[in-house]
Each structure stands twice: as structure tokens, then as C-alpha cells.
Amino acid sequence: MSAARTGRWWTVAGVVIVLYSFFPLLWMISLAFKPPSDIVSGSPQFWPTSWTLDNFAQIFSQPLFTRALINSVGIALIATALSVVIAMFAAYAIARLEFPGKKVLLSLALAIAMFPQAALVGPLFDMWRGLAIYDTWIGLIIPYLTFALPLSIWTLSAFFRQIPWEMEHAAQVDGATPWQAFRKVVVPLAAPGVFTTAILTFFFCWNDFLFAISLTSTNSARTVPAALAFFQGASYFESPVPYIMAASVVVTIPVVILVLIFQRRIVAGLTSGAVKG
């Protein structure tokens, strides 16, 4: 088979994969703009018979969604910031210092990241109630850090290992303190890795459902993925699907736009971290 024909087949395969990946998103958008009558129609259609924004107006009029949206943004941002800051210092120490058990520590960190979350929900539920942090922001931030930190440390340590020691030494020779050399030389050079780690951590916190549904009971800390399970129609006989899809569009589209805008930096960060280490 010629190279040109092979390239065409790869192009066709890529288009099919993209369409397959985008179909659930298009279906979600279609349902979000459909009136509730279209959902129970005897002749369903992919596109709405009449486009409406009432579903979005309905969800933003409910404290259940608006409060959950605030919780999601706040919890995800705080957990991401803490995870990136702590991971930077831990990864720098692992990459630069020699101490017994360093490889074992990295292996344990990766093992924690792969530990099943469902196994921790029961113990955390009892512990959090005893510590009076059940149904609070910190009650969700701590589990998110537990699972986000190991992967963040593993990823950032690969970036820090790529940065030559000589650059830090040169900064210190010029009069910089170790902290200044770290802040003004090492961190900017590892910016792609830091950015990638922050994005992955934010997505993990933003999309989590298990902890959010298990460790909350009211709107005070419940995030959007958990709040969607409590959506109801305007009446007992009305389907809540359009409202759930409208809320899903609100929380999904910004994430998609974020990825599209920063996709080059994300890819650069992932590939750079995989070159060495």
C-alpha cells in the first residue's frame, strides 16, 4: 500500500474517531436546548423541534445549582493550588536530593494514586463525622489532595530532573539565594509541567462524583456532579433530563474551551515530562 493511500486511511480513521468522540457532546447540547415536551414525544428527533433557553434559565433560578457551581469552583481551585504548591516542593526534593528510599517513596506515591476510591468512602464518612468536617469544603479538599498529590509529584519530579544543576549554581554564583534560584530559575523552566499538573488536578477535582456524593448531605459543600443527581422536573410528570443536560453544558463547555485554548501547553508538558526520567 502506498504512503499516500495509507495517509488517507489514517485521515479517515481520525475523522471517525473525532466524530465518535463528539457525538455525546452534541447529543448533550441538543437535549439542553430541547423543550421538555420533545423528550416525551412519540417521534423523537436528534435536534430540537424548537430551540429554547428556558432550561438554562430554570437551572440558574435554582439555589441547588448555583450553590453547587460556587462549591465546585472554590473547592477545585483551592485543591489545585495546594496540590501544585506542595507537589513542587516535594518533587524538587525528590529530583535534587539523594536519600534512602527515594524510589520506594515514588512507587508508593503512584500506588496511592491507583488505590480504589470506593474503598475509602466508608472510613472517610465515619472519620469526617467524628472530626466535624463532614459536608464541608475541607472534607472534600483533603481526599482530592490525597489522590491528586501522588500523580502531581510523579509528573513534576520528571520535569525537575531535566533542569541542569548548572543553571541553579549560576544563579547562586550571581548572588541569588537557594529560594530565589528555585523561584526565579527552576519554577519558570518547569512551567509546562506545573501547568499540566494544575490542569489535570483541576479536572480531577471538577469531575469527581464519588467523594462529592458520599461526603456531603446539603448544598453547603455539594459540587455540581453530585447536585445533578438531585435535579427534578417542574412537576412529577415532567422529565428532568433537559435541566440536567443544560447544567452539564454549563459545566462542560468551559472545560472544553480551556483545553482547546491551552492544548499546546498541555501536550508540551506531557511530552516534555516523558523525554527523560
Residue 234 lies in a domain: yes
SS3 155: helix
- pLDDT value of residue 42: 63
End-to-end CA distance of the chain: 38
Residue 48 lies in a domain: no
* Alpha carbon 93 to its chain's center: 26
Residue 47 lies in a domain: no
Residue 222 lies in a domain: yes
- pLDDT value of residue 60: 87
User: Domain range spanning residue 85?
Assistant: 61-273
Chain segment 117-162, per-residue pLDDT in tens: 888 888 889 999 999 999 999 999 999 988 888 888 887 887 788 7
Which residue, among 190, 193, 198, 243, has the nearest Cα to 68 in the 3D structure?
243
Q: Give the CA-trace dihedral at 258, 264, 266, 270, to 10 degrees.
A: 160
Residue 152 lies in a domain: yes
Residue 6 lies in a domain: no
Tell me which amino acid residue 119 is. A
Which residue, among 227, 230, 224, 228, has the nearest Cα to 207 in the 3D structure?
224
Could you say which residues of the chain have pLDDT below 50? 273-277
- pLDDT value of residue 271: 58
How many angstroms separate the CA atoms of 220 and 222, rounded? 6
How many angstroms separate the CA atoms of 5 and 26, rounded? 31
DSSP secondary structure string for all residues of 180-200 = HHIIIIIHHHTHHHHHHHHHH
Which residue, among 213, 244, 212, has the nearest Cα to 228 in the 3D structure?
244
Annotate 171-188 with b (16+ C-beta within 10 A) or e (fewer).
Answer: beeeebeeeebbeebbbe
Number of structural domains the chain divides into? 1
**CATH at 156:** 1.10.3720.10
Residue 155 lies in a domain: yes
Name every residue whose Cβ is closer than 8 Å to that of residue 17 and which is 6 or more positions away in sequence: none
Residue 42 lies in a domain: no
